[in-house]
Structure 1
């Protein structure tokens, strides 16, 4: 029995199919991981933009205090910062754009004029969402300072 030149032997037949299927699976996994990472990154950037607006609104929620002839002083309170940020989020409809949007922290620095805000949300990435059914949590931290000028 002579074998023809170039004809595959019985042991080697079908190995190219396994290799092709394996490479396709690896490519699909790489594409889905890239899509998921891009979705999380895009959502965190969008949340950062919303947080910037919310902390700017919170920094404008100051009270002006004067004592005698001393210069006027600005003061922020954590409660006012939280309430102003919450109102901003409600007014802009940010809760509809992000799943589980929440204010995780609203504080004022010891200087009394810098508002700090942390927002959290959940991202549900495409394709790999069934691997993480509860989503991927993201958090952003921002701050804004109130300054009084003439």
Structure 2
């Protein structure tokens, strides 16, 4: 037989169960905030690298080099020298402060036909990290080409 005391049956001690629920919900909320902050930081870093890659590719494509550019008859496409493109990308990244703003930035520059392709990769410093679960690098790419229109 149960005795009632202050509105509850005697022997049904529920003290502390609400505290466990509050702590559990707080941990879930903290995890959700952490994931959101890290995802936002990674997205912003990727967008910054994409902007840098596009600008570097445009700068490199603007450096049309070689004898065919001056000896007539480009026939709709301008040749791009890969060494000049790589040097131009390096200069662009240096002048824009990208190397200072993104320590460990690595640029890969390729020339495919009349197109300069720039791929950038940089270490990602997330505000909240879980060792082994969070990505440590972010990468983005951009390309530009030089085509000559008639007239």
> Normalising by the residue count of structure 2, what TM-score does the alignment of the two structures yield?
0.83
Q: CA RMSD in A?
A: 2.7
* Alignment-derived partner of residue 3 in structure 1: 4
**CA displacement, residues 51-99 of structure 1 (integer Å, 9 cap, x when unaligned):** 1111100111221424997514621122211110000000111112113
Aligned residues, how many?
A: 146
Structure 1 position 130, deviation (Å):
5.8
* Alignment-derived partner of residue 82 in structure 1: 86
Task: Extract unaligned runs of 5+ from structure 2.
Answer: none
- The runs of at least 4 aligned residues of structure 1 exceeding 4 Å deviation read 67-70
Task: Extract unaligned runs of 5+ from structure 1.
Answer: none
Please state whether the residue corresponding to 2:4 is helix, strand or coil. coil
* Alignment-derived partner of residue 148 in structure 2: 148
**CA displacement, residues 32-56 of structure 1 (integer Å, 9 cap, x when unaligned):** 1100000000110011111111110
> Normalising by the residue count of structure 1, what TM-score does the alignment of the two structures yield?
0.83
* Alignment-derived partner of residue 123 in structure 2: 122
